[in-house]
Structures are given as structure tokens and as C-alpha cells.
A and B are shown apart, each in its own frame.
Chain A
Amino acid sequence: MPGYPVAAVIPALLLLVSGCVSQAPNTAGPANASHVELVSTPFHPQTQYHCGPSALATVLGSSGLEISPERMSREVYLPGRKGTLQLEIIAAVRRHGRIPYQLDGNLQAILGQLDADLPVLVLLNQGIGMFPAWHYATVIGYQPGTDSVILRSGSDFRLEMSRRRFENDWKKAGYWSLVVLQPGQFPASVDMGRYLNALIAMEEASQWKAVETGYQAVLSGSPEDSPVNRLARFGLANALRADNQLEAAVMEYKQLLSRDPGHLSARNNLADTLLALGRCNEATETIDRIDPDPAIEPAISAAIHATRAEIYATCTGVRP
């Protein structure tokens, strides 16, 4: 009897059992939620510590990109941490030309996406207190009869988890969740500001085609002249400029400036684009319409200064 690793087993057992009985959020089940299950969601069973790459391959696959978990591991797994960080999941989605859109922290938000055929990547914390156990899984359905959430999780093709347990583990992970959108696709009940921020962040990964499509979608989905619409037009113009579609970029900048003549960044970028097209006169005229104003934000002021200097230097003979 003596000599068995009792000391090692007891804490492990306590950890596990506690996870089952700790207080779940005392909320009622989602009202009027109907049964939903995205049965065609792909499944990639995880290998040890690799739930991140597996779950990511699942949601990317669902958005039409077939990528093996092995390849995703190279892209997001962090050997020194024996796991995958949320930030790197988000960045990887961008690299593959998909829009990572984070949801509000309530089950209703997840159910809304499921109704729109979007599986939801979630982070769960199955540990307790000082012993967190982080786990990525994909929510693919909800079953009102048993009040349970259906997941692709770990090595489980179809895991039913009681809603209370799910909400408890999800809460301990800060209610983190994500849908993966094709360019131009909106999530259910979109927050346009959040969507725009997701697009802006994609510029970092130089995903210009995806970003262009995204801004176009916002343009057609928001009232003309609203702040969101203007921001989207500016973003579209910048993406076109970066994608070397200079003529198209000029048109978008001009359209924005016709509605918002005081948009200094747009005017600066327009002048820069005209210069790239070799249209010296127009470039000079555009940049000279900006009055030196001490109230301009320093960064913008510096950019205008640089553009003006470059135009003058390149277009010798046009102006001293």
C-alpha cells in the first residue's frame, strides 16, 4: 500500500473535481433558442497541446480554406509555452486573408453566429484559480432540450457540454470568442466600428485584396456620408494605393474629399498618389491646398511636409 504516488494524485483529483462543482454563472438558458448544429463543420482532432492549431484549422476550413493542423502548428504553436496565444490566432487568420471578428461575451452572440452558419472559436479555461487550463474549441451548435452547447473539441468530434459548464469555463477565459469571415462577409449583427478595426488591422498583414473587398462591403452596407462610410472609403483608397491600383485610388480619394474637403490625410495621400502617377501639376495643386495650420496633429503635419518636399524635389521645373 505505501509507496503509491498518493501525494501526486490527490491534488490532480481535487483540481479536476473542483472544476466540475465550482459555481457556474447563475443565468437562465437562452430564451427561445432553437436547435442548431453546423454538422458540416470540419474536424481536426488535436495532438497533445495543439488544440489551437486544430481549432484554427476547423474555423478556417469552415470559411473555405483547407489547411492542415500541422501547417497551422508552424504558424501559431509556441513550443516554449506549450500552447497557442490568442493574438497569434488572430494574426494567423489575417495572414490567410480572412477577417477575425471578436464577439460580445454572451451566449446569445454565439447563437446568433451559428444561425448565420458561422462556427465560433472560443477559449475555455477548464482549470481553477491559480491553475488555469486553457483550451480552444469550436462551438458548432446548441441543443435546447438538454440545454447544452455542442463543440468540436480536442479529440471529440462532437462534444456536448452543459450550458452552465460551458459558460463557466468561457467566463474564466474572459469570454473570448472569434468568427472567421470571408472578405466582404459580415457576422450576424455586425458592429461596424469593430469590423472596420479588424480590417484596418489586416493592412498590417498586407492582405490588400481581402481588405479592399471588406471596405467595399462596408461602403455598400452603411449610409453615405456616415463616419463609418467615410472611414471605409479612406481605407479602400489606401488599400488600392498600396495594391498599386493608383487610378482607382485617386478616384476614391477625390470622392472622399468632395464630401469631406477638410480630410487632410486623404488630401496628403491623394497628392502622394498623383505624384506616383507622374501627374506633377495635380500633385502640386493638391498639396498646396493645405494651409499650414499649427493645430494639425504632428504626425499628419510631418507627413504633409514630407509629401510636399518630395513633390517639389521630383517635379523640378514645376515649382522651385
Chain B
Amino acid sequence: MIRFFRTAIVLPSLVLFTLMTLWLPAAQAAMLGTGSADKQSQTASSTGTVEAFLSRDSVRQQLIALGVDPEMASVRAASLTAEERMELEQKIEQLPAGAGALEVIGIVFLVLLILELVGVTDIFKKI
């Protein structure tokens, strides 16, 4: 069983992941600048009021749909610039969402488990 496991799964997997590390380019996150560039056009703010209102509302709805409390969603949508709102409106599902570090303990456990399964070690007597 172990020999089958080693030849059928582990070896092809090792080859595959070695190739993957060679091929895959590093992912690039979308970048943005802060704020708007042109002060001149900001003075005529009243002309853009309706559009600004609509885009704020659209972002607000999207935030609510993704689980944000409605009152907080208004505050969050309001503190973005026009460019940022546009970016969020279009890519809220794709932009990088920072979540957390890969746990070291998880890695160690997985390595031990694999070694155990492959038969190199015999730490977990019951397995």
C-alpha cells in the first residue's frame, strides 16, 4: 500500500510542484494612487454631485451585500475618493483581500503527517 502510495501519488506530485515553482510568475496586485490628481476640477464640485451620490450608493450596496453593517457601509463608502469608488465598484470581488499569515504550526503538522503516511517516520502509532 505504501509503495503504491509513494509511486502513484507522491512522486508525480513532487515532479509537478517542482515544475510549478519554475513556471509560475509572481502574481501582481492591482495598484492605485491615492487621491485625485487635478485640484482644478475639484472646485466645480457641485456639477459632479449627482454622480458622486450614485457611485457612493452603489459601493454602499456592494459592501452591504458582502456582509457589512448598513450604517457602517455608508461611512466606508463616503471616505473613498471618486477614483477609488470606481475601482471598488468594478473589482470588489477581485481585489486582494488580506486575511492572515499561513500558520507555521499547520505547516509542521502537515509535514509530519505526510512523512508518517509515506512511512518515513512512525510518530503517530495509531495511524
The stretch from A124-132, A140-148, A217-225, A285-293 touching chain B is A124-132
Q: Tell me whether B114 and A197 are in contact (CB under 8 A).
A: no
Q: Which residues of A contact B78 (CB under 8 A)?
A: 204-205
Q: Tell me whether A50 and B34 are in contact (CB under 8 A).
A: no
Binary B-proximity of A69-110 (CB < 8 A = 1, otherwise 0): 000001110111111111110111011000011100000000
The stretch from A6-14, A60-68, A180-188 touching chain B is A6-14
Contact of B66 among A4, A55, A80, A129 (CB under 8 A): A80
Once A6-B9, A129-B20, A174-B31 are accepted as A-B contacts, the answer to whether A300 and B100 lie under 8 Å apart by CB is no
Contact of B100 among A86, A154, A173, A234 (CB under 8 A): A154
B residues 72-116 touching A (CB-CB < 8 Å): 72, 75-76, 78-82, 84, 87-88, 92-93, 95-103, 106-107, 110-111, 113-114
Once the chains are docked, how many angstroms separate the CA of A10 from the CA of B110? 9
Q: Which residues of B contact A18 (CB under 8 A)?
A: 17, 20-21
Q: Tell me whether B102 and A303 are in contact (CB under 8 A).
A: no
Q: Which residues of A contact B47 (CB under 8 A)?
A: 299, 302-303
Q: Which residues of A contact B43 (CB under 8 A)?
A: 238, 265, 268-269, 299-300, 303
20 further contact pairs, Cβ within 8 A, besides A128-B24, A204-B35 = A14-B13, A16-B102, A16-B107, A51-B98, A80-B65, A87-B80, A87-B87, A91-B80, A91-B84, A102-B33, A123-B29, A126-B101, A133-B99, A153-B101, A171-B26, A174-B28, A201-B36, A235-B39, A268-B43, A303-B43
Give the number of residues in A that approach B within 8 Å (Cβ atoms). Answer: 91
B32 at the interface (CB under 8 A from A): yes
B residues 11-51 touching A (CB-CB < 8 Å): 13, 16-17, 20-21, 24-37, 39-44, 46-47
Contact of A2 among B1, B41, B81, B111 (CB under 8 A): B1
A199 at the interface (CB under 8 A from B): yes
A216 at the interface (CB under 8 A from B): no
* Interface range, B side: 35 or more
Binary B-proximity of A109-141 (CB < 8 A = 1, otherwise 0): 000000000000001011111101111110000
Once the chains are docked, how many angstroms separate the CA of A74 from the CA of B107? 31
Contact of B36 among A130, A153, A197, A306 (CB under 8 A): A197
Once A14-B13, A80-B66, A173-B29 are accepted as A-B contacts, the answer to whether A137 and B101 lie under 8 Å apart by CB is yes
A residues sitting closer than 8 Å to B (CB atoms) are 1-2, 4, 6, 9-10, 12-14, 16-19, 21-23, 46, 48-52, 55, 74-76, 78-88, 90-92, 94-95, 100-102, 123, 125-130, 132-137, 153-156, 168, 171-174, 176, 194, 197-205, 231, 234-235, 238, 265, 268-269, 297, 299-300, 302-303, 306
Q: Which residues of A contact B87 (CB under 8 A)?
A: 87
Contact of A297 among B34, B41, B66, B113 (CB under 8 A): B41
Q: Select from chain B the residue with minimum beta-carbon distance to A90.
A: B34
| Whole-angstrom distance between the Cβ of B103 and the nearest chain A Cβ | 8
Q: Which residues of A contact B103 (CB under 8 A)?
A: 154
Q: Tell me whether B67 and A128 are in contact (CB under 8 A).
A: no
